[in-house]
Amino acid sequence: MIAYLFPGQGSQKRGMGEKLFDKYTSLADEASEILGYNIRELCVVDEHRLLNQTQYTQPALYVVNALSYLDRQETMPKPDFVLGHSLGEYVALFAAGAFSFETGLKLVKQRAEIMGRVKNGGMAALLGLKMDTVRKILVENSYSSIDIANYNSAEQIVISGLRDDIISAQKVFEANGAKLYYPLNVSGAFHSRYMKEAEEAFATAVAHVHFSPLQIPVISNVLARPYEDGRIGELLTTQITSQVKWYESISFLLHNGVSVFQEVGPGDVLTKMQGFIAAAPMPAQVAGFTPVQPPVKRLEQLAPPEVKEDVITDELPAYYRQLIGDEVSEGDEPLFTAAHLGSAGFRKLYKVKYAYAAGSMFYGISSKEFVARMGRAGLLSFYGSKGKSLAEIEAAILYFQGLPSLPYGIHLWHQPDDASAEMALVALLQKHQVSVVEAGGYTTLSEAIVYYRVSGLVRGENGRTVIRHHILAKAARPDIAALFLQPPPEKIVEQLVASGKITKEQALMAVTVPMADDICAEAEGTGMGGRKMPYALMTVFRQQRDQLARRFGYQEAPRIGLAGGIGTPEAAAGAFLTGAEFVLTGSVNQCTVEAGTSREVKDMLQETGIQDTDYVPGDELFEFGARIQVLKKGLFFPARAARLYEFYRMYTSLDELDPKDRTQLETRYFGATLDTVFEELKQTLSQTTIASAMQHPRHKMALVFRQYFEKSMKAALTGDQAARLDYQIQSSSALGSFNEWVKDTPLRHWNNRHGDSIALLLMTGAAAYLSRFYNTALVARESGAMIPA
């Protein structure tokens, strides 16, 4: 996990923020208007030497720190925690969404003016003495007027009190072993009892401020623990007279798994202190340290419901009824059950209970255990074959075929760089008579997928064409959907006949069937080309389907389903209301017991919110800028993936890379020289691909850059802690909505989640939702009332 640290008073320096003011001109102008002076001139030039005066220092640091955070957001992962030292705490709260830039600056301006009016106080920094020793010296020398202001590290403490006492105490502390006693250039005894009037004045200002719920945990200076919503104003006010518990705050984060600390703002004071603290943190038991855990509610004491592995029933346990809000009165029959939703043709073709499928997740995240559990429950899912060897895929197929009457499919993906590998996979599917595949990543139809489809055509007893190789194709654009809605391309079919792969009779039958039985519209998911409105996408796909079905006179037209954003019953119900004939889920299944990824990744995913993902360039179709949706919270991968694509656009070869950029890539991204990466890569590439790379330097650059994606994916799958910040975790906002929905139940934890029970919840919940919706509509129609929004 990663934490951002925001420095406070003492880190200011002339020249700070110069480039930031040029980049964020509108915010700089807004700040100048609020403050009544030119903030850029103060920070960069400081002609009148005002920067070290409290009433100017605090607003200046707030502005520079806040702009530094906004700038950091563009390239760095979202932190897991934020905290600031004294004044820096306001920037931490801004970063966490407690208030706007403007509101924060107005608060800081008032705070600075109030504190700037305090006189006759003093502060001094002590080095080399532990807290017990400092307290003992104060007691034994009758310095009852001096308070501990900052507890920065084991042997770095700041004291605060009346100016004369602070000056006279210097000789005493130095005589008792202080390595350094450094009086600070301040006018007041900050963070001490002498700030009581300032605290009372500031409380009046804070009382009129509305604070929004925090989006990131903020560690309070006063508590050395995370803020609670509802106490922000109280704790900011108390902070003025209270000790800054920095040593305890950093120790708290260290004990709770934070391993990366990034200082955001001018200087490196906090970075240095963090190093000292990490070397000697407070013991875990001090001040009641316990790992941060989400609040446990009574419902979490219930055992998760058991779902039989051979069948799912529509008889819902009371626990499930509570989750989906099933309010059908006793004795009443619901208008819908899960088996009513979607296409009966889908259920019949795949021999499944629901018009529902779990999509493949690469590198075996859709593991054979996951697919088997789904199949035993009468549900369709697809093995994540991409990234697995042919031997591993074959072992999975044999495993599935060893289980009786198991519905399953295998992922078949486009491999334009290695057509022979794609054909080899199809040959394996043919060998074991695999009858269902999920097609993904296609921008054109390859010979391999056309061969798979057409070689499965046979003439039935009544002379009609029988399809034995079924394709569920995923598409995010109408042009890709059209590839699968039409019959196989005539040119490829002719090539297959000429090579003896298919018969002339199969070629004749191919004219009468579409390339796919089912098209899944990917409206918002982890794959390429998402971010489409589901209503618009579904409408276009259905119109295409209807037009092409009439044109080619299909015996049975392809069904149109929907994927993306389906993480709650309401979302599933919305898909069916939109006209989806089936739904396909993805991200919600990645955070389950059977999913083939690491515990570390599952721990991260169960905490994911809908705001914690982003679209970045992906491995597939990297050269075209195709994007995937990934987890961004606490990770470097999103920024680094974007940076690699930026380099790809800027340069035409690896040799053109700026030396600094190349060094950064080799040391931070790959851990090896780019030449070494390519030489190792050559061991896995076909001779055709190698020849193409040597002839086309830009293609070679893309192949090398794509190695970072593979490396980051494998690190996540294995839970490699050394590469944790580079984890590539493909996930969509559907998982965030699911997490929010089940947060007060046993399903909050991934080790209570299974793909089949998720399917049961989503489908049965959708049926209950639609039953309530239509019952409301019927009552409203009969009474002449409006349907409530």
Catalytic residues: 86, 191
User: Is the Cα torsion angle 176, 178, 180, 183 positive or negative in sign?
Assistant: negative
**CB distance 56 to 112 below 8 Å:** yes
CA distances from 734 to 178, 304, 526, 537, 647 (A): 57, 22, 10, 18, 31
- The amino acid that residue 526 corresponds to is T
Q: What is the rounded distance in angstroms from the CA atom of residue 412 to the CA atom of residue 710?
A: 18
Nearest to 725 by CA among 250, 279, 79: 79
Straight-line distance from the first to the last Cα atom of the chain, in angstroms, rounded to the nearest whole number: 42
Q: What is the rounded distance in angstroms from the CA atom of residue 4 to the CA atom of residue 326?
A: 44
- Give the chain's largest Cα–Cα span: 108
Q: What is the rounded distance in angstroms from the CA atom of residue 48 to the CA atom of residue 190?
A: 25
For 706, residues 6+ apart whose C-beta sits below 8 A from its C-beta are 619, 622
CA distances from 553 to 236, 465, 545 (A): 71, 13, 11
CA distances from 697 to 140, 149, 575, 649, 700 (A): 75, 60, 45, 13, 5
Q: List alpha helices for 141-214, DSSP H.
A: 163-175, 196-206
Q: What is the rounded distance in angstroms from the CA atom of residue 528 to the CA atom of residue 485?
A: 19
**Ramachandran class of 758: left when φ > 0, alpha when ψ lies in -120 to 50, beta otherwise:** alpha
Q: What is the rounded distance in angstroms from the CA atom of residue 520 to the CA atom of residue 395?
A: 27
Q: What is the rounded distance in angstroms from the CA atom of residue 590 to the CA atom of residue 650?
A: 35
For 537, residues 6+ apart whose C-beta sits below 8 A from its C-beta are 476, 521, 522, 523, 562
Residue with tokens 């200046």: 60
